[in-house]
Amino acid sequence: MTAVRILGIVAGIGLFLMSVQAYDRRRISRLSLIVASLLGTALIVLSLRPSVYDPVFNWFHIVPGAERRVIFVLVIGVLLLLFLVLRLQTGSDTNDRGLRLLIEALGRERFDWERAAALPEGRRVVVISPAYNEQDSVGDVVRAIPRELEGMQVIPVLVSDGSDDATARRAREADDGRRRAASALGTACDDPTDHRRERRLRERIADPR
């Protein structure tokens, strides 16, 4: 067995082990794990028994001799690397676009530093509660949230996702009557593109408890 084949076996095993470790740490997706495992297995098989790929070589009319098959494998490897780079770039561009949309949605309104300064000092617990057209019950829910939990300040965040009633106002009134604390209410902007997550992310009531 030549040194090149031994190197191919080591590289294939290393690729598989690194992929499994990265997947356990949730650094890559399951699809990436499957792709890496297939590439590692193909490399190991090619290094151990190159004759397995004789049908592929024959289909492309790659006859033995003059390192033709080695060059062919290198070309295929370059093409696979190009495919993986393009796949990685596509995923990166998608994430960048999603992050840009999120930042644009958050930047539709000015951050209220005065209300943020009213938040209590020390350790805090944030309780997030969704609400949709719940003006009749949201006040009782807000008043039922404790002010402290095991020595930590409790900060409720009520997410009113597209409510067209007085849910937000009732929540503010319930908190003002109980603690008279500043409310950090962000009003969502209408967006005809129907990006609900970005459109409603800033529509919230964050009252220090």
pLDDT (tens, 9 = 90+) of the chain, 209 residues, equals 578 788 888 988 998 899 999 888 888 888 888 988 898 898 888 888 888 888 887 887 777 776 777 788 888 888 988 988 888 888 888 888 888 887 777 666 556 677 667 776 778 888 888 888 888 888 888 888 887 887 788 887 777 767 788 887 888 787 665 443 333 333 333 333 333 434 443 443 333 33
Reduce the secondary structure of the chain to three states and give it as a string: CCHHHHHHHHHHHHHHHHHHHHHHCCCCCHHHHHHHHHHHHHHHHHHHCHHHHHHHHHHCCCCCCCCHHHHHHHHHHHHHHHHHHHHHHHHHHHHHHHHHHHHHHHCCCCCCHHHHHCCCCCCEEEEEEEECCCCCCHHHHHHHCCCEECCEEEEEEEEECCCCCCHHHHHHHHHHHHCCCCCEEECCCCCCCCCHHHHHCCCEEECCC
